Amino acid sequence: MRLLLLLAAPVIAQQLVILPPAAELTGPEARQQLIAEGTAGDHQEDWTCATEWSSSDPKVATVDEHGLVRPAGNGEARITARAKGLEANIVVRVKDAHAPFTWSFRNHVIPVMTKMGCNQGACHGALAGKNGFKLTLRGYDPEVDFATLTRQSTGRRVSLADPTASLILLKPSFTIPHGGGKRFAKDSLEYRVIEEWIAAGAPPPTPADAEIRGLEVFPAAATLAPGAEQQLVVRAKYSDGHMDDVTRWVKFSSSNEGVATVDDWGHVKMNGSGEAAVTLWYSSRVLYSRLSVPFPNQISGEAYERFPRHNFIDDLVLAKLKSLHIAPSKIADDATFLRRAYLDAAGILPTSEEVENFLADKSPDKRAKAVERLLERDEFVDYWAYKWSDLLLVSSRRLNSTAMWAFYDWIRESVKENKPWNKFANEIFLSSGSTRQNGALNYYVLHKDPIDLAENATQAFLGQRITCARCHNHPLEKWTQTQYYEMANLFARVGVKNGAAAGDNVVFAKTSGDVLHPRLARPLPPTPLDGQSVPLDSPEDRRVAFAKWLTGQKNAMFSRTIVNRVWANFMGRGLVDPVDDMRATNPASNEELLAALTKDFIENGYDVQRLIRTIMNSSVYQLSSEANATNQSDDIYYSKHIIRRLSAEVILDAMSQVTGAPTAFQGYPAGTRALQLPDTQVKSEFLVSFGRPARNVCDAAERSSDPSIGQALHVINGDTLNKKLSAPEGTIALFLKLGLSDRRILEYMFLSAFSRYPSESERETLTAALEKAKLSKGTEEARRDAHRQALEDMVWAMLTSKEFLFNH
Amino acid sequence: MFRLDADRPVEFCDGLRRRDFLHAGSLATLGLSLTDWFGLRALGATDGSRDVNCILLMLIGGPSQLDTFDMKPNAPVEIRGPYKPIKTNVPGIEISENFPRTAKHADKFSLIRSVYHTAAAVHDTGHQMMQTGRLFQGGIEHPHMGCVLTKLKGPKGDVPAHVLLPRPIGNTGGNMPHGQTAGYLGKAFDPFVLNADPSDPNFKVPDLLPPDYLTALRVDRRRNWREMVDKSVSEFETSQDARLLDSTFHQAYTLMSSQKAREAFQLHHEPEPVREKYGLNRFGQSCLLARRLIEAGVRFVTVNMFETVFDEITWDIHGSKPFSPISCYRDLVGPMFDMAYASLLEELAERGLLSNTMVMATGEFGRTPKINPAGGRDHWPQCWTMLMGGGPIKGGTVVGSSDDIAAAPKERPVTPAQVAATVYRGLGIDLQIELPGAQGRPVPLVDRGVEPIRELFS
């Protein structure tokens, strides 16, 4: 019996489903576009155009040849799709098919005007409107827009007596000249919506209107064939329970046009391999559909089977690679792993001795042990203190020395004791008192006004850039202007006054003070972005509400953001990229992985060190950066390690380490490493040239790792590296004094700079070059100088090579 | 060995499909820089017979059209602002009283009074559009016009093809790219950024020359040994950043060995009166340096008049801190522009360079016709004026016009895409070509239907 079934099974599994999986039509104007989504083997296909559609009861609902369902009478019907020999059907419920119906200003007219572009920033949605006609940007305030349309310019814009003579019909249909051109035709649905609304007496938006609660997109995710086309359907759900197909009025865009492009009607074309998020915006709600095309590779299951899995990171990355037909590269060798681990965790190179010991170590768990040792090091603390100082903008630019040190020391202490990240944030937002005693409070010395605080806090801890919402609803996100000012009002009562000593301030909660919404000219109840409002007259420190919401269990964004930052440090690219752009329209490249890491982080006490250990112990972290035949162009899905230039401070410190000549920083004790500096204002041509951030704004893009001609010139001609090489107490001078052979010196330099032994051919070639550079005759001194210079030049060549400057 | 590969094969307009964009052997042997190489393999799309250069002055902050080049003295007081127009040496053309020296050179440039854009009214979008002709969307970064020129024509001799003075545009509030790089063309075509202040008494190009203690022999030896040590570890072949590092070293050596380049940057060789004529400030000296760079063979110089609009006096006259007051057009910004721009035009003309050097000056938008409660003006991309002259561009004309209050174009509206098309035409580039875009998809240099501004060419 089983054998028979096996023989009867089709060679390529095929399946047909209808999306959405069930439909509800409410009112005579309701429509629902259906999609016939087929599965052919391992990918989906949009079969809608090749489908025969039929309704079980045309008296309830009809369906046309394009799959569009219309209501006919109340009740239930089944819509069937037949394509490629397969069949599927769904239930459609119709309600109020013959009920009196009026288009709603809030839920129909505004979306029409938004989709047609009437209220976009370039036209009537501009701050000053256009040609005397001003609408709110993308319709964020229907009440205001209604008044503008019906009260101002009475009878002209909206003419109740003669609807088709209304300006808002004449102009966009180009019946009369319109600066914005023809936006819709006279026989379009859009025209009809506005005309019928006016004819019905132009009813206003009211608080009783159904409010949009959320969106759904179909398909929400799909794996498609190269060059495939896919129609998307978007459905809105409302507070009164009804649903509407709003596809026609959605604003679509693609996160990666190289992979997929989408037109104004939600029709997607796949252009390349990889994954793209097609984001959609409707009525200040955002959502996205994830569509992907696997790479054109044939990969045996074995390639995935034999990959060593250490933890859930490996499982989830492999799942993604499998779905995209990319095979992971091999695991990096010991030398590569060691150098990478030291640099990523502590910003230092292993010493030549540490390298030799590690390479000679035969124990099977030596990598995990190396990770543990790194977590214990002082340099580990320095590195992460530096990183969080970038985040919190520690510098002497706006903080005096005492304040800056207090702030930095608090950060460093927090890293040292592995303070849980929620506790770290709470210490900033829940404390009051002396900034000297609690360094965290210098945050309020840096950010003095509520607008600044609101924007900075959300950027640093939530990866949200809410600035746009200061003037209008955020065009890319779901934040409204109202939410912006509710949020800002959380910080309206932070007081900072001078303390007892210079550089000491006292942070306290004031008993009054509010931020006014600019148009409403009144304060709004302080409310964290997605959270619960606090009454305006509550005497409690409002920051408490913010802190509770920020670090509360329900706030996944708080954890996602820090998880993403830490991940990006080790993997070279955040799961969300840019690393601090966590908006809803910028999805993660592996959502399942980010969600799992976040869950693990929250469930284990917001422990950053633990997260670091988990990442470093995964096989994915330990992958080689060498491409195989299938993943040459992958720099998103972690199938191979991403090569990236080291940061400015790490390079400078590494050069100091190899040459044995520390950098002198003005005002700091000799031997201070760049990564130990609390201040990005410390003068250093090298650091500025190589992209050290100014710490003026909380933006990961402030730090640059792009190579430039200026950097090349600096290491060729500048003093920084040159002086280190010739330092009289440096490594080269020391080795010459000790009389070490060129071979031995080279080996040391390789171990120190590259964390590996030179190959035989490298030994041959480089020692030969050094020999040639030496003088065969001349004074003792001249010969010594020539020898020293040759070594300096050789080490220079090593320290400016890609292998040194890059983490690979 | 040096290879830059397309991710996918790209079909060029000569019909050939290339897996590798370029395949350069040991560059030292060939004696070529990367950009020389590109120049040779140019897409047959340039007219080399008449090289035209370009200087782009980015008036960061967005000058108010009503207070600079599109005065409306008959408008109500709350529109026309505090400044009065003055005549220029071209009958019929009047500009702000804050530009008396420029007024004597109106024959050398034309005004386009109907420029507008329809993207968001933030600084960054205008920067993108005026420097690349396009608004950035979907993660795609289009190249600066100067970078396109670099890719198509390569450098002239040893100097870089495109130089950016004095520093890149920094924070202007939008968190978006400013369109000042080569985008999808690749960082190899980025401009050379000076990163120093030419008005500094100790100005020199950072680290342009080796220190005294390094002989030429050692500099050369280091260069060779670096290539020897740095044998292409195979991982690096797929890393664009790693390949770019080598390219930057190569370009650095080229720059170092260029007598012409060194000489061009030596501003202290200019007589003091000339330096004073341009204005002893960052912008003035950058304009002077731009002239010298053009003389030395640089093809395109971009000068950023300011780097930020926050806590600095710029064209961004919102009227309240941290932005600038309207009075600064009289007290600081106006004179700063007037001295530098007029001197630049004058000197280019005197040296016979103006006939083959286009000079453009523009902000990223105009400003609100109605003065705001703080006594300033806010962002207004709906209508502004830009200046263009030199090369094949006519001088002394006005293209387009605005309405009574300079709120909207009245005649002949001009988009940033059309401005870019005009620049490309002026540079002698075939507008029909396609550039290799992101993921190998060809991008038209200029979108279909976008025409250069005919009225500016004779």
Contact criterion met (CB < 8 Å) for B255 and A645 = no
The strands making up A260-262's β-sheet, listed across from edge to edge, are A229-231, A267-270, A260-262
Closest by Cβ to A722, choosing from B205, B214, B381: B214
Name chain A contacts of B182, Cβ cutoff 8 Å: none
Residues within 8 A of A (CB atoms), B 378-437 only: 378-382, 408
User: Using the beta-carbon criterion (under 8 Å), do B241 and A699 form an inter-chain contact?
Assistant: no
Q: Give CA–CA dist A472/A121, Å, rounded.
A: 10
The predicted structure's pLDDT at residue A110: 96
Q: What is the pLDDT of residues A556-605, one digit of tens each?
A: 999 999 999 999 999 999 999 988 889 887 889 999 999 999 999 999 99
**Phi, psi (5° rounding) for residue B218?**
-70, -40
Q: How many residues does chain A have?
A: 808
Residue A472 scores a pLDDT above 70: no
Of A398, A496, A514, which Cα lies nearest the Cα of A450?
A514
Interface contact B196, partner A, CB < 8 A = no
Is the pLDDT at A7 greater than 70? The verdict is no
**Residue pLDDT, tens place only, A55-68:** 999 999 999 999 99
CB B295 within 8 A of CB B269: no
Contact list, A255 vs chain B (CB under 8 Å)? 138-139
Contact criterion met (CB < 8 Å) for B235 and A625: yes
- Contact status of A627 with chain B (Cβ, < 8 Å): yes
A710 vs B193, B233, B382: nearest CB: B193
Residue A183: what are its φ and ψ, rounded to 5°? Answer: -95, -35
Determine, for residues A126 and B235 on separate chains, whether the beta-carbon distance falls below 8 Å: no
CB-nearest to A707 from B173, B248, B256 is B248
DSSP secondary-structure letter at A96?
Answer: S
B236 in A contact zone (CB under 8 Å): yes
Higher pLDDT, A7 or B7: A7
Question: Rounded to two decimals, what is the model's pTM?
Answer: 0.81
Rg of chain B over Cα atoms, rounded to whole angstroms, equals 22
- Measured between beta carbons, the chain A residues lying within 8 angstroms of B380 are 128
Whether residues A257 and B137 touch (CB distance < 8 A) is answered with: yes
CB burial string A773-791: b at 16+ within 10 A, e below: beeeeeeeeeeeeebbbbb
Could you tell me which chain A residue has the CA closest to the CA of B440?
Answer: A258
Residues of chain A in contact with residue B171, where contact means CB-CB under 8 angstroms, are 696-697
* pLDDT at residue B29, as a whole number: 34
Residues of chain B with C-beta less than 8 angstroms from the C-beta of A471: none
Q: How far apart are CA B385 and CA B363, in angstroms?
A: 8
CB A28 within 8 A of CB A99: yes
Tell me what pLDDT residue A318 has.
97
| Burial of A240 (C-beta count, 10 Å sphere; 0-12/13-18/19+) | exposed
Q: Measured between CA atoms, how close is B431 to chain A, in angstroms?
A: 23
Average pLDDT, whole number, for chain A? 92
A34 touches A46 (CB < 8 A)? no
Confidence of residue A95 (pLDDT cuts 50, 70, 90): very high
Tens digits of residue pLDDT in A104-139: 999 999 999 999 999 987 789 876 778 889 898 888
Which residues are CB-contacts of B231 (< 8 A; sequence separation ≥ 6)?
A: none
Q: Where are the alpha helices (DSSP H) in A489-581?
A: 542-550, 556-571
> Chain B within 8 Å of A767 (Cβ-Cβ)?
no
Taking contacts as CB-CB distances below 8 angstroms, the residues of chain B near A336 are none
DSSP A675: G
Beta carbons of A806 and B241 less than 8 Å apart: yes
Q: Does B192 touch chain A (CB under 8 A)?
A: yes
Side-chain-side CA neighbours of residue B420 (13 Å): 28
Spatial neighbors of B90 by CB under 8 A, at least 6 apart, are B106, B107, B396
- Residues of A within 8 A of B8 (CB-CB) are 272
Mean pLDDT of A522-535: 88
Q: What is the mean pLDDT of each run of 10 residues along chain B (458 residues)?
A: 33 35 31 40 49 97 98 96 97 97 98 94 95 86 96 91 95 85 86 93 88 92 92 71 87 89 93 97 98 97 95 93 93 98 98 97 97 94 97 97 96 97 96 82 88 95
Task: Sort strands A68-71 and A61-63 into parallel, antiparallel or unpaired.
Answer: antiparallel
Name the residue among A521, A630, A642, A545 with its Cα closest to residue A589. Answer: A642
Give B236 to chain A, closest Cα distance, Å. 8
**A759 CB within 8 Å of a chain B CB:** no
ipTM of this complex prediction, to 2 decimal places: 0.84
CA distance A756 to A334: 9
Q: Which A residues in the span 235-294 are in contact with B, Cβ-Cβ below 8 Å?
A: 253-259, 261, 271-272
A714 touches chain B (CB under 8 A): yes
Contact criterion met (CB < 8 Å) for B140 and A705:
no
Kindly list the residues from chain A whose CB atom is less than 8 angstroms away from the CB atom of residue B207: 710, 713-714, 716-718
Please give, one letter per residue, the 3-state secondary structure of chain B. CEEEEEEEEEECCCCCEEEEEEEECCHHHHCCCHHHHHHHCCCCCECCCCCCEEEEEECCCCCCHHHCCCCCCCCCHHHHCCCCEEECCCCCCEEECCCCCHHHHHHHEEEEEEECCCCCCCHHHHHHHHHHCCCCCCCCCCCCHHHHHHHHHCCCCCCCCEEEECCCCCCCCCCCCCCCCCHHHCHHHCCEECCCCCCCCCCCCCCCCCCCCCCHHHHHHHHHHHHHHCCCCHHHHHCHHHHHHHHHHHHHHHHHCCHHHHHHHCHHHCCHHHHHHHCCCHHHHHHHHHHHHHHHCCCEEEEECCCCCCCCCCCCCCCCCCCCCCCHHHHCHHHHHHHHHHHHHHHHHHCCCHHHEEEEEECCCEECCCCCCCCCCCEECCCEEEEEEECCECCCCEECEECCCCCCEEECCECHHHHHHHHHHHCCECCCCEEECHHHCEEECCCCCCCCCHHHEC
Mean pLDDT of A447-452: 86
Instruction: Say how far apart CA A469 and CA A464 lie, in whole Å.
Output: 11
- B382 and A697 in contact by Cβ < 8 A? no
**Alpha-carbon distance B318 to B321, whole Å?**
8
Chain B partners within 8 Å of A708 (Cβ): 190, 193, 248
Alpha-carbon separation of residue B273 from A324, B201, B268, B278, B283 (angstroms) = 66, 15, 11, 9, 16
B-chain residues near A271 (CB < 8 A): 439, 441
Query: Residue B315 in contact with residue B63, Cβ under 8 Å?
Result: yes
Indicate yes or no: CB of A706 within 8 angstroms of CB of B192.
no
Neighbours of B178 (CB within 10 A): 26
The whole-angstrom separation of Cα B110 and Cα B93 is 10
Least confident residue range of A13-27, A473-487, B365-379: A473-487
